[in-house]
């Protein structure tokens, strides 16, 4: 039965990884938000150049912040799943001792 519990635990972990897309979010951390980016103009216009530079930079910062929030939330969920799995496995391994202790307690008293 612990083998079954381990496979269930593994399924929960893989679900959380794919639900929050953690590998993809880490790979595209500094990509622009919703692929919003502006092209630089032809010629040399310093005001337009800096306008587009800061617009693209701002889009990347917004994308990074949103992705970081999702990554942190995904990590929190993963930690919760790991702790819950450890508690379930510990309970499963200690269940015979708990049952024996309860049986002796109720039959002796």
Domain ranges of the chain: 2-108
Asked if residues 77 and 23 have their Cβ atoms less than 8 Å apart, the reply is no
Asked if residues 25 and 70 have their Cβ atoms less than 8 Å apart, the reply is yes
- In angstroms, the CA 105 to CA 101 distance is 6
Whole-model pTM: value is 0.76
In this prediction, residue 34 has a pLDDT band, given cuts at 50, 70 and 90, of confident
pLDDT digits (tens, 9 = 90+) for 52-105: 889 888 888 998 999 999 999 999 999 999 999 999 999 999 999 998 998 898
**Runs of H (alpha helix) within 1-109:** 2-20, 22-27, 46-108
Compute the mean pLDDT over every residue in the chain, rounded to the nearest whole number.
87
Locate 38 and state its tokens.
């502006």
């Amino acid at each position: 039965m612990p083998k079954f519990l381990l496979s269930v635990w593994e399924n929960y972990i893989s679900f959380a990884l794919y639900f929050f897309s953690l590998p993809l979010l880490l790979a595209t951390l500094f990509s622009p938000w919703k692929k919003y980016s502006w092209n630089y103009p032809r010629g040399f216009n310093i005001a337009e150049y800096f306008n587009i530079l800061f617009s693209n930079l701002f889009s990347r910062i917004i994308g990074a912040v949103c992705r970081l929030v999702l990554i942190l939330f995904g990590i929190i969920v993963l930690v919760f799943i790991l702790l819950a799995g450890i508690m379930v496995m510990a309970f499963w391994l200690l269940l015979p001792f708990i049952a024996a202790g309860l049986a002796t307690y109720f039959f002796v008293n």
